[in-house]
Amino acid sequence: MSKKEKITEEKVEEVVEETSNETTEDEVELSVEEKLSEEIKALNEKYMRLYAEYDNYRKRTQSEKVAIYSDATSKAVEEILPIADSVTMALSQFEGKEVPPEFSKGIELIANQLKGSFDKLSVTPFGAIGDDFDPNIHNAISKIEDENLGENKIAQVYQTGYKLNDRIIRHAMVVVANCD
């Protein structure tokens, strides 16, 4: 080998080494950037999942609180309903009879207080005479034929039904007119 060939060969080796060193440094820089980018993506994804889990937990506990409140209210109202029935019966006994005004006035005040309490709790009565019969909320005790009422109308109410918002606390016990 000549001297010129040795110099050229050495130069080629130097250039290859420099190029490989530069490539390695670039690759290292690039791989570090890629690793950091992947790590950021992974942490971001982990954060988003944690946020979604927390949001689901918050919504679930909120709906459970509402359900617990609704259950407790309906249980309490269910225990008070016999008192409301007794007050209603007492008022109906006063109709057409000579009763001291203090008695009827006192029972009316109690009935109004019960009605006010039910209104505050969003408890509404249902099942009045003339309403359409709905087997989902009414309990039909018997049926009669009555020309004054239409088909599947409530003719008589034995026990008023109550509901808390859309939840039935007690079904109405009724007599249905003109049904099959």
* DSSP code string of 42-84: HHHHHHHHHHHHHHHHHHHHHHHHHHHHHHHHHHHHHHHHHHH
pLDDT at 14: 66
Q: Is the pLDDT of residue 93 over 90?
A: no
Average pLDDT across the chain, whole number: 85
Q: Mean pLDDT highest for which of 49-58, 65-74, 144-153? A: 49-58
| Burial zone of 160 (CB within 10 Å; 0-12 exposed, 13-18 middle, 19+ buried) | middle
Over residues 66-76, the mean pLDDT reads 90
Q: How confident is the model at residue 97 (pLDDT cuts 50, 70, 90)?
A: confident
pLDDT tier, 166 (very low <50, low <70, confident <90, very high otherwise)? confident
Q: How confident is the model at residue 33 (pLDDT cuts 50, 70, 90)?
A: confident
Task: Report the pLDDT value the prediction gives residue 138, as an integer from 0 to 100.
Answer: 92
Query: Percent of the chain at pLDDT above 70?
Result: 83
| CA atoms of 179 and 150, how far apart (whole Å) | 9
Q: From residue 177, how far is each of 61, 125, 126, 139, 159 by CA, in Å?
A: 46, 21, 17, 13, 16
3-state secondary structure of 140: strand
The pair of three-digit structure tokens given for residue 2, joined into one six-digit string: 């000549």
Residue 5 has pLDDT above 70, yes or no: no
pLDDT at 115: 94
User: What is the per-residue pLDDT for 21?
Assistant: 55
Residue with tokens 């690039």: 30
pLDDT confidence of residue 59 = 95
Set out the domains of the chain in order of their start, with CATH numbers.
125-180 (2.30.22.10)
